[in-house]
Amino acid sequence: MKAVVNKNVWLVALGSLVLLAGCNSFKKKNLEPPTPLEKNFTPTVQVSKAWSARIGDGAGISGAQLRPTVVDGVLYAVSTDGKVAAFDAASGKQLWEKTTKVKQGWLGFGGKKGKAVPQGSYAGGPAVAGNLLAVGTLDGYVYGLNPKDGTQLWSSELNSEVIASPAIVGDLVIVRTQDGRVYGLDAASGQRRWVYDQGSVPLLSLRGNSTPLAANGVVFLGSDDGKLVALRQDNGDKLWEQRLATGDGRTDIERLDDADGSILLDGSTLYAAAYHGNLTAIDGPSGRPMWSRPFSTYSSLALAGSAIYGVNDQGEVWAFDRNGGSDMWKNDKLKYRWLTGPAVQGNYVVVADAEGYVHWLQSGDGALAARVRLSKKAIQAQPLVVGDTVYVEDVKGHIGAYRLAAH
């Protein structure tokens, strides 16, 4: 499920309804209905619900990538109405819940000068490392919290929406904003150390950003114009960029070429893909393409064993050979269901959809193996797999933890 942004105008894809202001080439009638689920489906593996919970009372923002994270047995999650919470990852017991606040510097909508007021809606998940939880808001703030009890440590105001999860590496918080900038913030104070500005951004783009990936002193991220960019971690200087898509087409919609999915790194090889573009394997140090094949997606990829798994823009689940990109299998039984990016749990590939279902596919041949329903609300973020448990969160803040039955 994706939204498209034209300056301050959203193309909101919600279930089977798309609203667009200022562009007549994309109508509701152009959308294919979701493929119905098999009524007499017989699972080949049993899935049990370990626990479920809810955080906040979110507005169900379209495009919100509410992906929890688990660190040291604690699950951290956010909601679209500004709540941050921690749960015991095994039992689902809530450990704490907080609402982030910012001090107002003037007399106005926030009330009295210096008063701390609730602030922000979250559209991306939190990042947690060491003694810091970092999360960004739609009104351009990044907050640093103590993950032990949710105490707010600092806030940093940026110039644009934050709709992707930050990345924490060492003493640096790396944040991508919707206007194409990347910030390196001091993890202790939230103060800016550096800013990378990619320059002009497309007037029309998918509503989403890739989460920065930091490794070996380099920050990798996808751009709204179909590129993979590598930056120096210490100062934000650009090392190289590689194009994943060319943005060809007759209309603005056809020329969309965002690289919004998370980037995979295995050894020194990067794997990335773009909307209306290619799946490409890239040598990390040099930025040189190793192989490339057509594959249009706005979702994150998954890597396990010899395979790369992805969901294309039609909702088909694919498996590719990681060594050259050749096809291994394709499953089209979930087509047009606005699938999330895939995750891998043991011998299964896991995706979720816009009607709140979670699906398990056999990793060897793509056959559907099981499904459960968290709620009737859309799940838009890639499932999270930790050990034997899959965690998902819908746009209204419902969280579910599921385990495969032992064989």
| 3-state DSSP assignment of residue 380 | coil
Instruction: Classify residue 25: in a domain, yes or no.
Output: no
- CATH number at 191 reads 2.40.128.630
Cβ pair 2, 63 in contact under 8 A: yes
Rounded distance, CA 393 to CA 407, Å?
A: 27
Instruction: Classify residue 142: in a domain, yes or no.
Output: yes
Instruction: Classify residue 266: in a domain, yes or no.
Output: no
Q: Sorting pLDDT into bands at 50, 70 and 90, what band is 119? A: low
Instruction: Classify residue 140: in a domain, yes or no.
Output: yes
Q: Sorting pLDDT into bands at 50, 70 and 90, what band is 7? A: very low
Tens of pLDDT, residue by residue over 172-196, are 999 999 888 999 999 999 999 999 9
Please give the pLDDT value at position 59.
Answer: 54
Instruction: Classify residue 151: in a domain, yes or no.
Output: yes
Rounded distance, CA 247 to CA 6, Å?
A: 16
Is pLDDT at 199 greater than 50 in this prediction?
yes
Cβ pair 346, 360 in contact under 8 A: no
Q: Sorting pLDDT into bands at 50, 70 and 90, what band is 314? A: very high
Instruction: Classify residue 50: in a domain, yes or no.
Output: no
Is pLDDT at 250 greater than 70 in this prediction?
no
Rounded distance, CA 109 to CA 128, Å?
A: 31
Please give the pLDDT value at position 62.
Answer: 54
Instruction: Classify residue 77: in a domain, yes or no.
Output: yes
Domain count, the chain: 1
Please give the pLDDT value at position 248.
Answer: 55
Q: Sorting pLDDT into bands at 50, 70 and 90, what band is 298? A: confident
Least confident of 71-80, 236-245, 363-372: 236-245
What are the distances in angstroms from CA 398 to CA 55, 58, 97, 223?
7, 9, 14, 30
Is pLDDT at 18 greater than 50 in this prediction?
no
Please give the pLDDT value at position 61.
Answer: 59
Q: Sorting pLDDT into bands at 50, 70 and 90, what band is 5? A: very low
Question: Angle 160-166-171 (CA atoms, 0-180°, nearest 5)?
Answer: 115
Tens of pLDDT, residue by residue over 54-111, are 998 765 655 678 899 999 999 999 998 889 999 999 999 999 999 987 655 433 334 4
Q: Sorting pLDDT into bands at 50, 70 and 90, what band is 378? A: very high
Please give the pLDDT value at position 112.
Answer: 47
Please give the pLDDT value at position 223.
Answer: 73
Range of the domain at 146: 64-207
Q: Sorting pLDDT into bands at 50, 70 and 90, what band is 339? A: very high
Q: Sorting pLDDT into bands at 50, 70 and 90, what band is 11? A: very low
Please give the pLDDT value at position 21.
Answer: 30
Instruction: Classify residue 184: in a domain, yes or no.
Output: yes
Q: Which helix (H) or strand (E) holds 5?
A: strand 3-6
Cβ pair 354, 2 in contact under 8 A: no
What is the mean predicted confidence (pLDDT) over 198-207? 56
Task: Tell me the helices (H) and strands (E) count for the chain, helix number first.
Answer: 0, 38
Rounded distance, CA 361 to CA 145, Å?
A: 37
